[in-house]
Structure 1
Protein backbone atom coordinates (compact mmCIF):
# COMPACT_ATOMS: atom_id res chain seq x y z
CA UNK A 1 0.00 0.00 0.00
CA UNK A 2 1.64 3.20 -1.15
CA UNK A 3 -1.12 5.80 -1.54
CA UNK A 4 -4.20 6.60 0.53
CA UNK A 5 -6.84 8.94 -0.90
CA UNK A 6 -8.81 11.04 1.60
CA UNK A 7 -11.72 12.94 0.03
CA UNK A 8 -12.63 15.74 2.43
CA UNK A 9 -15.13 18.54 2.70
CA UNK A 10 -13.62 19.65 6.05
CA UNK A 11 -16.80 18.73 7.94
CA UNK A 12 -16.70 17.09 11.38
CA UNK A 13 -17.46 13.82 9.66
CA UNK A 14 -14.51 14.24 7.31
CA UNK A 15 -12.23 15.08 10.24
CA UNK A 16 -12.81 11.61 11.68
CA UNK A 17 -11.68 10.08 8.40
CA UNK A 18 -8.66 12.38 8.23
CA UNK A 19 -7.56 11.37 11.74
CA UNK A 20 -8.02 7.70 10.93
CA UNK A 21 -6.01 8.08 7.73
CA UNK A 22 -3.12 9.70 9.59
CA UNK A 23 -2.87 6.74 11.97
CA UNK A 24 -3.14 4.27 9.09
CA UNK A 25 -0.51 6.06 7.00
CA UNK A 26 1.98 6.01 9.87
CA UNK A 27 1.38 2.32 10.44
CA UNK A 28 1.87 1.23 6.83
CA UNK A 29 4.20 4.06 5.75
CA UNK A 30 1.90 5.32 3.00
CA UNK A 31 1.51 8.66 1.24
CA UNK A 32 -1.67 10.65 1.92
CA UNK A 33 -3.50 12.37 -0.94
CA UNK A 34 -6.10 14.88 0.24
CA UNK A 35 -8.86 15.59 -2.28
CA UNK A 36 -11.26 18.52 -2.06
CA UNK A 37 -13.79 19.36 -4.76
CA UNK A 38 -15.19 22.89 -5.02
CA UNK A 39 -18.41 23.39 -6.94
CA UNK A 40 -17.97 26.48 -9.12
CA UNK A 41 -20.69 28.34 -11.08
CA UNK A 42 -18.50 28.45 -14.21
CA UNK A 43 -15.39 26.78 -15.60
CA UNK A 44 -13.02 28.36 -13.09
CA UNK A 45 -9.83 27.37 -14.88
CA UNK A 46 -10.79 29.51 -17.86
CA UNK A 47 -11.38 32.71 -15.89
CA UNK A 48 -8.91 35.59 -15.76
CA UNK A 49 -8.01 37.11 -12.39
CA UNK A 50 -10.32 40.01 -13.16
CA UNK A 51 -13.22 37.69 -14.03
CA UNK A 52 -12.76 35.80 -10.76
CA UNK A 53 -13.74 39.00 -8.92
CA UNK A 54 -17.29 38.58 -10.24
CA UNK A 55 -17.64 35.53 -7.98
CA UNK A 56 -16.50 36.70 -4.52
CA UNK A 57 -18.15 33.82 -2.63
CA UNK A 58 -16.39 31.23 -4.78
CA UNK A 59 -13.05 33.03 -4.39
CA UNK A 60 -13.53 33.01 -0.63
CA UNK A 61 -14.38 29.29 -0.64
CA UNK A 62 -11.26 28.52 -2.68
CA UNK A 63 -9.03 30.53 -0.37
CA UNK A 64 -10.57 28.80 2.63
CA UNK A 65 -10.05 25.36 1.08
CA UNK A 66 -6.42 26.11 0.27
CA UNK A 67 -5.80 27.16 3.85
CA UNK A 68 -7.40 24.02 5.28
CA UNK A 69 -5.49 21.79 2.89
CA UNK A 70 -2.30 23.56 3.91
CA UNK A 71 -3.07 22.76 7.55
CA UNK A 72 -3.46 19.07 6.69
CA UNK A 73 -0.17 19.06 4.77
CA UNK A 74 1.61 20.79 7.65
CA UNK A 75 0.25 18.21 10.06
CA UNK A 76 1.48 15.40 7.81
CA UNK A 77 4.94 16.97 7.62
CA UNK A 78 5.10 17.35 11.40
CA UNK A 79 4.21 13.66 11.81
CA UNK A 80 6.72 12.51 9.22
CA UNK A 81 4.11 11.48 6.65
CA UNK A 82 4.44 12.20 2.94
CA UNK A 83 1.35 14.01 1.67
CA UNK A 84 0.00 16.15 -1.13
CA UNK A 85 -3.26 17.86 -2.06
CA UNK A 86 -5.73 17.80 -4.95
CA UNK A 87 -7.97 20.86 -5.23
CA UNK A 88 -10.52 20.31 -7.99
CA UNK A 89 -12.90 22.88 -9.47
CA UNK A 90 -16.09 21.39 -10.86
CA UNK A 91 -19.65 22.13 -11.90
CA UNK A 92 -21.14 19.49 -9.61
CA UNK A 93 -20.75 16.32 -11.67
CA UNK A 94 -17.27 15.33 -10.50
CA UNK A 95 -16.91 11.69 -9.44
CA UNK A 96 -14.31 10.91 -6.81
CA UNK A 97 -13.75 7.33 -7.94
CA UNK A 98 -12.01 8.43 -11.16
CA UNK A 99 -9.09 9.77 -9.07
CA UNK A 100 -8.43 6.28 -7.72
CA UNK A 101 -7.15 5.26 -11.13
CA UNK A 102 -5.56 8.52 -12.24
CA UNK A 103 -3.62 8.92 -8.97
CA UNK A 104 -2.77 5.21 -8.63
CA UNK A 105 -4.50 4.98 -5.27
CA UNK A 106 -4.25 1.78 -3.19
CA UNK A 107 -7.03 2.46 -0.70
CA UNK A 108 -9.48 5.21 0.23
CA UNK A 109 -10.48 6.55 3.65
CA UNK A 110 -13.78 8.44 3.66
CA UNK A 111 -16.18 9.84 6.21
CA UNK A 112 -19.89 9.10 6.34
CA UNK A 113 -22.84 10.20 8.43
CA UNK A 114 -24.45 6.89 7.53
CA UNK A 115 -27.64 8.53 6.33
CA UNK A 116 -29.11 7.71 2.93
CA UNK A 117 -29.76 10.75 0.80
CA UNK A 118 -27.57 13.09 2.86
CA UNK A 119 -26.78 16.02 0.58
CA UNK A 120 -25.39 18.89 2.64
CA UNK A 121 -21.81 17.68 2.41
CA UNK A 122 -19.79 16.24 -0.45
CA UNK A 123 -19.29 12.99 1.43
CA UNK A 124 -22.96 12.19 1.85
CA UNK A 125 -23.61 10.91 -1.66
CA UNK A 126 -20.03 10.28 -2.76
CA UNK A 127 -19.22 7.72 -0.06
CA UNK A 128 -21.94 5.39 -1.30
CA UNK A 129 -20.99 6.04 -4.90
CA UNK A 130 -17.38 5.13 -4.11
CA UNK A 131 -18.14 1.79 -2.50
CA UNK A 132 -20.22 0.82 -5.55
CA UNK A 133 -17.56 1.76 -8.09
CA UNK A 134 -14.03 1.92 -6.70
CA UNK A 135 -11.83 -1.11 -7.33
CA UNK A 136 -9.70 -0.56 -4.21
CA UNK A 137 -10.65 -1.10 -0.54
CA UNK A 138 -12.70 1.74 0.97
CA UNK A 139 -12.46 2.48 4.69
CA UNK A 140 -15.69 4.23 5.74
CA UNK A 141 -15.29 6.11 9.01
CA UNK A 142 -18.30 7.36 10.95
CA UNK A 143 -18.43 10.72 12.68
CA UNK A 144 -18.57 9.08 16.13
CA UNK A 145 -15.68 6.71 15.47
CA UNK A 146 -13.17 6.36 18.32
CA UNK A 147 -11.10 3.57 16.74
CA UNK A 148 -7.62 4.07 15.33
CA UNK A 149 -5.94 0.70 15.90
CA UNK A 150 -7.01 -2.28 13.79
CA UNK A 151 -6.19 -5.30 15.93
CA UNK A 152 -9.42 -7.18 15.25
CA UNK A 153 -11.09 -7.00 11.83
CA UNK A 154 -14.24 -9.07 11.36
CA UNK A 155 -14.63 -10.39 7.81
CA UNK A 156 -18.18 -11.48 7.03
CA UNK A 157 -18.52 -13.96 4.18
CA UNK A 158 -20.95 -16.46 2.66
CA UNK A 159 -18.10 -18.69 1.39
CA UNK A 160 -19.34 -18.46 -2.18
CA UNK A 161 -16.81 -19.31 -4.90
CA UNK A 162 -17.47 -16.04 -6.73
CA UNK A 163 -16.08 -14.03 -3.80
CA UNK A 164 -12.80 -15.92 -3.59
CA UNK A 165 -10.65 -13.35 -5.37
CA UNK A 166 -12.09 -10.62 -3.16
CA UNK A 167 -11.18 -12.66 -0.10
CA UNK A 168 -7.60 -12.82 -1.32
CA UNK A 169 -7.67 -9.03 -1.59
CA UNK A 170 -9.04 -8.76 1.96
CA UNK A 171 -6.36 -11.10 3.25
CA UNK A 172 -3.63 -9.06 1.56
CA UNK A 173 -5.06 -5.88 3.08
CA UNK A 174 -5.13 -7.45 6.54
CA UNK A 175 -1.51 -8.52 6.14
CA UNK A 176 -0.53 -4.97 5.13
CA UNK A 177 -2.23 -3.27 8.07
CA UNK A 178 -1.00 -5.90 10.51
CA UNK A 179 -4.19 -7.63 11.58
CA UNK A 180 -5.64 -11.11 11.25
CA UNK A 181 -9.13 -11.52 9.89
CA UNK A 182 -11.84 -13.01 12.09
CA UNK A 183 -13.97 -15.03 9.70
CA UNK A 184 -17.72 -14.84 10.27
CA UNK A 185 -20.66 -16.64 8.68
CA UNK A 186 -24.11 -15.29 9.52
CA UNK A 187 -26.72 -18.04 9.39
CA UNK A 188 -30.10 -16.53 8.55
CA UNK A 189 -33.57 -18.14 8.26
CA UNK A 190 -33.69 -17.22 4.57
CA UNK A 191 -30.48 -19.11 3.73
CA UNK A 192 -30.34 -21.48 6.69
CA UNK A 193 -27.60 -24.10 6.75
CA UNK A 194 -26.66 -26.72 9.33
CA UNK A 195 -23.49 -25.97 11.27
CA UNK A 196 -21.53 -28.94 9.92
CA UNK A 197 -22.36 -27.93 6.35
CA UNK A 198 -21.16 -24.38 7.00
CA UNK A 199 -17.88 -25.63 8.45
CA UNK A 200 -17.25 -27.99 5.53
CA UNK A 201 -18.04 -25.23 3.04
CA UNK A 202 -15.89 -22.72 4.93
CA UNK A 203 -12.87 -25.01 5.21
CA UNK A 204 -12.94 -25.76 1.49
CA UNK A 205 -13.24 -22.03 0.67
CA UNK A 206 -10.41 -21.00 2.99
CA UNK A 207 -8.16 -23.82 1.77
CA UNK A 208 -8.62 -22.65 -1.82
CA UNK A 209 -8.42 -18.88 -1.35
CA UNK A 210 -6.65 -18.29 1.99
CA UNK A 211 -3.00 -18.38 3.00
CA UNK A 212 -3.50 -18.67 6.75
CA UNK A 213 -5.36 -20.83 9.23
CA UNK A 214 -8.64 -19.33 10.46
CA UNK A 215 -11.32 -20.24 12.93
CA UNK A 216 -14.80 -20.19 11.42
CA UNK A 217 -17.22 -18.22 13.56
CA UNK A 218 -20.95 -18.78 13.08
CA UNK A 219 -23.78 -16.64 14.42
CA UNK A 220 -27.54 -17.03 13.95
CA UNK A 221 -29.49 -13.87 13.11
CA UNK A 222 -32.59 -12.80 11.21
CA UNK A 223 -30.53 -10.44 9.02
CA UNK A 224 -26.88 -10.51 7.98
CA UNK A 225 -26.27 -6.97 9.23
CA UNK A 226 -27.60 -7.69 12.71
CA UNK A 227 -25.50 -10.82 13.02
CA UNK A 228 -22.33 -9.04 11.87
CA UNK A 229 -22.81 -6.16 14.32
CA UNK A 230 -23.68 -8.46 17.23
CA UNK A 231 -20.57 -10.58 16.65
CA UNK A 232 -18.33 -7.52 16.16
CA UNK A 233 -19.54 -6.00 19.42
CA UNK A 234 -19.09 -9.26 21.34
CA UNK A 235 -15.60 -9.73 19.87
CA UNK A 236 -14.73 -6.07 20.60
CA UNK A 237 -13.65 -5.70 17.00
CA UNK A 238 -11.96 -2.60 15.60
CA UNK A 239 -13.72 -2.80 12.27
CA UNK A 240 -15.87 -4.82 9.89
CA UNK A 241 -14.85 -5.92 6.38
CA UNK A 242 -17.38 -7.02 3.77
CA UNK A 243 -17.46 -7.70 0.05
CA UNK A 244 -19.57 -5.23 -1.96
CA UNK A 245 -21.13 -6.39 -5.20
CA UNK A 246 -21.31 -2.94 -6.79
CA UNK A 247 -24.98 -2.56 -7.73
CA UNK A 248 -26.03 0.45 -9.77
CA UNK A 249 -27.30 3.56 -8.00
CA UNK A 250 -30.85 2.71 -9.06
CA UNK A 251 -30.62 -0.84 -7.74
CA UNK A 252 -29.15 0.43 -4.47
CA UNK A 253 -32.08 2.81 -4.09
CA UNK A 254 -34.53 -0.09 -4.11
CA UNK A 255 -32.28 -2.59 -2.35
CA UNK A 256 -29.30 -1.16 -0.40
CA UNK A 257 -26.34 -3.52 0.00
CA UNK A 258 -25.29 -5.09 3.28
CA UNK A 259 -22.28 -2.77 3.19
CA UNK A 260 -24.43 0.35 3.05
CA UNK A 261 -26.77 -0.94 5.73
CA UNK A 262 -23.80 -1.62 8.00
CA UNK A 263 -22.53 1.93 7.51
CA UNK A 264 -25.91 3.22 8.63
CA UNK A 265 -26.19 0.83 11.59
CA UNK A 266 -22.77 0.84 13.27
CA UNK A 267 -20.19 3.39 14.40
CA UNK A 268 -17.37 0.93 13.71
CA UNK A 269 -15.16 1.49 10.66
CA UNK A 270 -16.49 -0.49 7.70
CA UNK A 271 -14.08 -1.73 5.04
CA UNK A 272 -15.72 -2.25 1.66
CA UNK A 273 -13.95 -4.60 -0.76
CA UNK A 274 -15.42 -4.79 -4.23
CA UNK A 275 -16.22 -8.20 -5.66
CA UNK A 276 -13.35 -8.96 -8.03
CA UNK A 277 -13.48 -10.99 -11.20
CA UNK A 278 -11.37 -14.10 -11.55
Structure 2
Protein backbone atom coordinates (compact mmCIF):
# COMPACT_ATOMS: atom_id res chain seq x y z
CA UNK A 1 0.00 0.00 0.00
CA UNK A 2 1.41 3.35 -1.05
CA UNK A 3 -1.29 6.01 -0.61
CA UNK A 4 -4.23 6.44 1.77
CA UNK A 5 -6.80 9.14 1.06
CA UNK A 6 -8.60 10.80 3.98
CA UNK A 7 -11.42 13.13 2.90
CA UNK A 8 -12.07 15.52 5.78
CA UNK A 9 -14.32 18.39 6.79
CA UNK A 10 -12.39 18.80 10.08
CA UNK A 11 -15.40 17.65 12.15
CA UNK A 12 -15.25 15.22 15.09
CA UNK A 13 -16.48 12.55 12.73
CA UNK A 14 -13.63 13.24 10.30
CA UNK A 15 -11.14 13.41 13.18
CA UNK A 16 -11.81 9.76 13.95
CA UNK A 17 -10.89 8.88 10.36
CA UNK A 18 -7.79 11.10 10.51
CA UNK A 19 -6.56 9.36 13.67
CA UNK A 20 -7.25 5.89 12.35
CA UNK A 21 -5.74 6.63 8.95
CA UNK A 22 -2.55 7.79 10.66
CA UNK A 23 -2.30 4.45 12.48
CA UNK A 24 -2.81 2.55 9.21
CA UNK A 25 -0.18 4.66 7.46
CA UNK A 26 2.37 3.95 10.17
CA UNK A 27 1.67 0.23 9.95
CA UNK A 28 1.91 0.06 6.17
CA UNK A 29 4.49 2.80 5.49
CA UNK A 30 1.93 4.53 3.29
CA UNK A 31 1.63 8.21 2.41
CA UNK A 32 -1.42 10.09 3.66
CA UNK A 33 -3.34 12.41 1.35
CA UNK A 34 -5.78 14.76 3.10
CA UNK A 35 -8.59 16.04 0.90
CA UNK A 36 -10.95 18.90 1.70
CA UNK A 37 -13.64 20.16 -0.65
CA UNK A 38 -15.05 23.68 -0.27
CA UNK A 39 -18.27 24.58 -2.02
CA UNK A 40 -17.72 27.96 -3.65
CA UNK A 41 -20.32 30.19 -5.36
CA UNK A 42 -18.08 30.63 -8.41
CA UNK A 43 -15.01 29.02 -9.96
CA UNK A 44 -12.60 30.23 -7.29
CA UNK A 45 -9.44 29.18 -9.09
CA UNK A 46 -10.16 31.69 -11.84
CA UNK A 47 -10.67 34.71 -9.59
CA UNK A 48 -8.15 37.51 -9.18
CA UNK A 49 -7.18 38.66 -5.68
CA UNK A 50 -9.52 41.65 -5.99
CA UNK A 51 -12.39 39.42 -7.10
CA UNK A 52 -11.82 37.10 -4.14
CA UNK A 53 -12.51 40.03 -1.83
CA UNK A 54 -16.07 40.12 -3.17
CA UNK A 55 -16.70 36.86 -1.30
CA UNK A 56 -15.31 37.51 2.21
CA UNK A 57 -17.04 34.56 3.90
CA UNK A 58 -15.77 32.09 1.32
CA UNK A 59 -12.29 33.58 1.50
CA UNK A 60 -12.34 33.18 5.29
CA UNK A 61 -13.39 29.51 4.99
CA UNK A 62 -10.62 28.83 2.50
CA UNK A 63 -8.02 30.39 4.78
CA UNK A 64 -9.22 28.28 7.69
CA UNK A 65 -9.21 25.11 5.57
CA UNK A 66 -5.64 25.75 4.38
CA UNK A 67 -4.52 26.12 7.99
CA UNK A 68 -6.34 22.95 9.09
CA UNK A 69 -4.85 20.93 6.23
CA UNK A 70 -1.35 22.21 6.97
CA UNK A 71 -1.77 21.21 10.63
CA UNK A 72 -2.81 17.68 9.60
CA UNK A 73 0.22 17.32 7.33
CA UNK A 74 2.51 18.64 10.05
CA UNK A 75 1.04 16.24 12.62
CA UNK A 76 1.51 13.28 10.29
CA UNK A 77 5.09 14.20 9.46
CA UNK A 78 5.92 14.57 13.16
CA UNK A 79 4.78 10.95 13.50
CA UNK A 80 7.12 9.90 10.72
CA UNK A 81 4.43 9.59 8.05
CA UNK A 82 4.76 11.27 4.66
CA UNK A 83 1.70 13.41 3.97
CA UNK A 84 0.26 15.84 1.44
CA UNK A 85 -2.89 17.91 1.12
CA UNK A 86 -5.44 18.74 -1.56
CA UNK A 87 -7.88 21.65 -1.32
CA UNK A 88 -10.59 21.60 -3.96
CA UNK A 89 -12.89 24.46 -4.87
CA UNK A 90 -16.13 22.78 -5.82
CA UNK A 91 -18.68 24.92 -7.60
CA UNK A 92 -20.40 22.16 -9.54
CA UNK A 93 -19.77 18.45 -9.80
CA UNK A 94 -16.31 17.55 -8.53
CA UNK A 95 -16.27 14.15 -6.81
CA UNK A 96 -13.92 12.31 -4.48
CA UNK A 97 -13.75 9.50 -7.04
CA UNK A 98 -11.77 11.78 -9.35
CA UNK A 99 -8.95 12.06 -6.85
CA UNK A 100 -8.91 8.35 -6.12
CA UNK A 101 -7.88 7.85 -9.74
CA UNK A 102 -5.65 10.86 -10.32
CA UNK A 103 -3.72 10.43 -7.06
CA UNK A 104 -3.43 6.63 -7.52
CA UNK A 105 -4.98 5.99 -4.11
CA UNK A 106 -4.85 2.47 -2.64
CA UNK A 107 -7.29 2.93 0.26
CA UNK A 108 -9.84 5.48 1.47
CA UNK A 109 -10.49 6.11 5.18
CA UNK A 110 -13.70 8.01 5.94
CA UNK A 111 -15.67 8.99 9.01
CA UNK A 112 -19.26 8.08 9.81
CA UNK A 113 -21.77 9.34 12.33
CA UNK A 114 -22.85 7.01 15.09
CA UNK A 115 -26.62 6.84 14.99
CA UNK A 116 -28.58 4.10 13.27
CA UNK A 117 -31.10 5.43 10.83
CA UNK A 118 -31.47 6.68 7.29
CA UNK A 119 -28.29 5.43 5.67
CA UNK A 120 -27.35 8.41 3.53
CA UNK A 121 -27.78 10.75 6.47
CA UNK A 122 -25.94 8.43 8.85
CA UNK A 123 -22.99 7.78 6.58
CA UNK A 124 -22.83 11.21 5.05
CA UNK A 125 -23.35 11.81 1.34
CA UNK A 126 -19.66 11.50 0.41
CA UNK A 127 -19.08 8.36 2.48
CA UNK A 128 -22.24 6.79 1.08
CA UNK A 129 -21.15 7.50 -2.51
CA UNK A 130 -17.56 6.32 -2.09
CA UNK A 131 -18.64 3.15 -0.29
CA UNK A 132 -20.90 2.14 -3.15
CA UNK A 133 -18.65 3.08 -6.05
CA UNK A 134 -15.04 2.67 -4.97
CA UNK A 135 -12.96 -0.05 -6.60
CA UNK A 136 -10.40 0.12 -3.78
CA UNK A 137 -10.82 -0.74 -0.06
CA UNK A 138 -12.84 1.79 1.93
CA UNK A 139 -12.45 1.90 5.71
CA UNK A 140 -15.37 3.52 7.53
CA UNK A 141 -14.59 4.73 11.06
CA UNK A 142 -17.09 5.91 13.69
CA UNK A 143 -16.68 8.85 16.00
CA UNK A 144 -17.05 6.37 18.86
CA UNK A 145 -14.26 4.10 17.63
CA UNK A 146 -11.75 3.29 20.37
CA UNK A 147 -9.64 0.87 18.35
CA UNK A 148 -6.16 2.00 17.36
CA UNK A 149 -4.52 -1.33 16.55
CA UNK A 150 -5.81 -4.05 14.23
CA UNK A 151 -4.84 -7.33 15.86
CA UNK A 152 -7.95 -9.41 15.17
CA UNK A 153 -9.74 -8.77 11.88
CA UNK A 154 -12.93 -10.62 10.95
CA UNK A 155 -13.43 -11.54 7.31
CA UNK A 156 -17.10 -12.35 6.68
CA UNK A 157 -17.57 -14.39 3.51
CA UNK A 158 -19.89 -16.64 1.53
CA UNK A 159 -16.98 -18.55 -0.09
CA UNK A 160 -18.22 -17.77 -3.61
CA UNK A 161 -15.52 -18.38 -6.20
CA UNK A 162 -16.01 -14.95 -7.76
CA UNK A 163 -14.86 -13.33 -4.48
CA UNK A 164 -11.49 -15.08 -4.55
CA UNK A 165 -9.58 -12.13 -6.04
CA UNK A 166 -11.10 -9.80 -3.44
CA UNK A 167 -10.09 -12.15 -0.66
CA UNK A 168 -6.52 -11.81 -1.87
CA UNK A 169 -6.76 -8.05 -1.28
CA UNK A 170 -8.02 -8.59 2.27
CA UNK A 171 -5.38 -11.20 3.03
CA UNK A 172 -2.61 -8.90 1.81
CA UNK A 173 -4.00 -6.03 3.88
CA UNK A 174 -4.08 -8.20 7.00
CA UNK A 175 -0.44 -9.11 6.37
CA UNK A 176 0.57 -5.46 6.08
CA UNK A 177 -1.28 -4.60 9.28
CA UNK A 178 0.13 -7.58 11.17
CA UNK A 179 -3.44 -8.67 11.94
CA UNK A 180 -4.79 -12.17 12.49
CA UNK A 181 -7.57 -12.91 10.01
CA UNK A 182 -10.62 -14.74 11.34
CA UNK A 183 -12.74 -16.24 8.56
CA UNK A 184 -16.47 -16.22 9.30
CA UNK A 185 -19.49 -17.74 7.57
CA UNK A 186 -22.90 -16.58 8.81
CA UNK A 187 -25.49 -19.32 8.27
CA UNK A 188 -28.89 -17.70 7.80
CA UNK A 189 -32.36 -19.24 7.29
CA UNK A 190 -32.53 -17.63 3.82
CA UNK A 191 -29.37 -19.36 2.58
CA UNK A 192 -29.20 -22.20 5.09
CA UNK A 193 -26.50 -24.84 4.63
CA UNK A 194 -25.44 -27.82 6.71
CA UNK A 195 -22.18 -27.47 8.64
CA UNK A 196 -20.38 -30.19 6.68
CA UNK A 197 -21.21 -28.43 3.40
CA UNK A 198 -20.02 -25.06 4.69
CA UNK A 199 -16.75 -26.57 5.87
CA UNK A 200 -16.27 -28.31 2.52
CA UNK A 201 -16.79 -25.22 0.37
CA UNK A 202 -14.74 -23.17 2.82
CA UNK A 203 -11.80 -25.56 2.58
CA UNK A 204 -12.04 -25.60 -1.21
CA UNK A 205 -12.10 -21.78 -1.31
CA UNK A 206 -9.11 -21.43 1.00
CA UNK A 207 -7.12 -24.09 -0.84
CA UNK A 208 -7.57 -22.14 -4.06
CA UNK A 209 -7.33 -18.53 -2.89
CA UNK A 210 -5.67 -18.45 0.54
CA UNK A 211 -1.95 -18.38 1.29
CA UNK A 212 -2.36 -19.62 4.87
CA UNK A 213 -4.41 -22.13 6.80
CA UNK A 214 -7.48 -20.56 8.40
CA UNK A 215 -10.00 -21.97 10.81
CA UNK A 216 -13.50 -21.61 9.41
CA UNK A 217 -15.84 -20.08 11.97
CA UNK A 218 -19.57 -20.70 11.52
CA UNK A 219 -22.33 -18.86 13.34
CA UNK A 220 -26.11 -19.23 12.93
CA UNK A 221 -28.13 -16.02 12.83
CA UNK A 222 -31.32 -14.65 11.31
CA UNK A 223 -29.41 -11.91 9.51
CA UNK A 224 -25.83 -11.63 8.26
CA UNK A 225 -25.22 -8.42 10.23
CA UNK A 226 -26.38 -9.95 13.50
CA UNK A 227 -24.12 -12.97 13.08
CA UNK A 228 -21.08 -10.84 12.28
CA UNK A 229 -21.64 -8.58 15.29
CA UNK A 230 -22.22 -11.50 17.65
CA UNK A 231 -18.96 -13.10 16.53
CA UNK A 232 -17.12 -9.76 16.74
CA UNK A 233 -18.31 -9.29 20.31
CA UNK A 234 -17.26 -12.80 21.29
CA UNK A 235 -13.85 -12.40 19.65
CA UNK A 236 -13.30 -8.83 20.90
CA UNK A 237 -12.41 -8.02 17.31
CA UNK A 238 -10.66 -4.84 16.19
CA UNK A 239 -12.31 -4.57 12.78
CA UNK A 240 -14.56 -6.24 10.22
CA UNK A 241 -13.84 -6.80 6.52
CA UNK A 242 -16.53 -7.63 3.98
CA UNK A 243 -16.68 -8.02 0.23
CA UNK A 244 -19.53 -5.92 -1.11
CA UNK A 245 -21.35 -7.30 -4.13
CA UNK A 246 -23.12 -5.11 -6.64
CA UNK A 247 -26.90 -4.97 -6.84
CA UNK A 248 -26.97 -7.17 -9.94
CA UNK A 249 -25.95 -10.31 -8.04
CA UNK A 250 -29.12 -12.36 -7.71
CA UNK A 251 -27.81 -14.55 -4.88
CA UNK A 252 -25.94 -11.71 -3.23
CA UNK A 253 -24.63 -12.27 0.27
CA UNK A 254 -23.30 -8.82 1.05
CA UNK A 255 -25.27 -6.21 -0.83
CA UNK A 256 -24.40 -2.53 -0.43
CA UNK A 257 -27.35 -2.23 1.96
CA UNK A 258 -26.07 -5.02 4.21
CA UNK A 259 -22.62 -3.42 4.37
CA UNK A 260 -24.20 -0.08 5.22
CA UNK A 261 -26.40 -1.69 7.89
CA UNK A 262 -23.33 -3.31 9.40
CA UNK A 263 -21.53 0.03 9.54
CA UNK A 264 -24.49 1.69 11.21
CA UNK A 265 -24.83 -1.07 13.82
CA UNK A 266 -21.23 -1.27 15.06
CA UNK A 267 -18.60 1.09 16.43
CA UNK A 268 -15.85 -1.09 14.96
CA UNK A 269 -14.01 0.04 11.82
CA UNK A 270 -15.46 -1.68 8.75
CA UNK A 271 -13.39 -2.40 5.65
CA UNK A 272 -15.50 -2.68 2.52
CA UNK A 273 -14.06 -4.15 -0.67
CA UNK A 274 -16.15 -4.37 -3.82
CA UNK A 275 -16.08 -7.68 -5.61
CA UNK A 276 -12.92 -7.50 -7.72
CA UNK A 277 -13.24 -8.09 -11.42
CA UNK A 278 -11.04 -10.88 -12.68
User: What's the TM-score, normalizing by structure 1?
Assistant: 0.93
Q: Deviations over 1:170-198 (max 9, x none)?
A: 11111111112100000000110000010
Match of 2:193 in 1: 193
Structure 1 segment 1-278 matched on structure 2, within 5 A: 1-113=1-113, 116-118=119-121, 124-247=124-247, 256-278=256-278
Q: Deviations over 1:133-161 (max 9, x none)?
A: 11111111001000010000000000111
Residues in 1 aligned to 2:148 and 2:128: alpha-carbon distance in whole angstroms = 22
Give the drift of 1:118: 2.0
Match of 1:251 in 2: none
Q: Which deviates the most, 172-181 or 103-112?
A: 172-181
Instruction: Tell me if the contact between 1:132 and 1:245 (Cα under 8 Å) persists in the aligned partners.
Output: no
Give the drift of 1:117: 2.8
Residues in 1 aligned to 2:87 and 2:65: alpha-carbon distance in whole angstroms = 8
Instruction: Tell me if the contact between 2:109 and 2:141 (Cα under 8 Å) persists in the aligned partners.
Output: yes
Instruction: Tell me if the contact between 1:154 and 1:181 (Cα under 8 Å) persists in the aligned partners.
Output: yes
Instruction: Tell me if the contact between 1:38 and 1:90 (Cα under 8 Å) persists in the aligned partners.
Output: yes
Residues in 2 aligned to 1:118 and 1:55: alpha-carbon distance in whole angstroms = 29
Residues in 1 aligned to 2:138 and 2:89: alpha-carbon distance in whole angstroms = 24
Match of 2:251 in 1: none
Q: Deviations over 1:1-39 (max 9, x none)?
A: 111110000010000000011111111111110000000
Secondary structure, in 3 states, of the residue corresponding to 2:120?
Answer: coil
Residues in 2 aligned to 1:221 and 1:92: alpha-carbon distance in whole angstroms = 45
Give the drift of 1:257: 2.1
Instruction: Tell me if the contact between 1:133 and 1:246 (Cα under 8 Å) persists in the aligned partners.
Output: no
Instruction: Tell me if the contact between 2:14 and 2:111 (Cα under 8 Å) persists in the aligned partners.
Output: yes
Q: Deviations over 1:59-95 (max 9, x none)?
A: 0110010010111111112111110100000125221
Match of 1:252 in 2: none
Tell me how many residue pairs correspond in the alignment.
269
Residues in 2 aligned to 1:277 and 1:151: alpha-carbon distance in whole angstroms = 29
Residues in 2 aligned to 1:78 and 1:56: alpha-carbon distance in whole angstroms = 33
Give the drift of 1:261: 0.8
Instruction: Tell me if the contact between 2:246 and 2:256 (Cα under 8 Å) persists in the aligned partners.
Output: no
Residues in 1 aligned to 2:54 and 2:23: alpha-carbon distance in whole angstroms = 41
Q: Deviations over 1:110-139 (max 9, x none)?
A: 1011552328xxx71111211211111111
Misfit runs of 4+, over 6 Å: none
Give the drift of 1:44: 0.7
Where structure 1 has 5 or more consecutive residues not aligned to the other structure, the ranges are 249-254
Give the drift of 1:275: 0.4
Residues in 2 aligned to 1:68 and 1:118: alpha-carbon distance in whole angstroms = 25
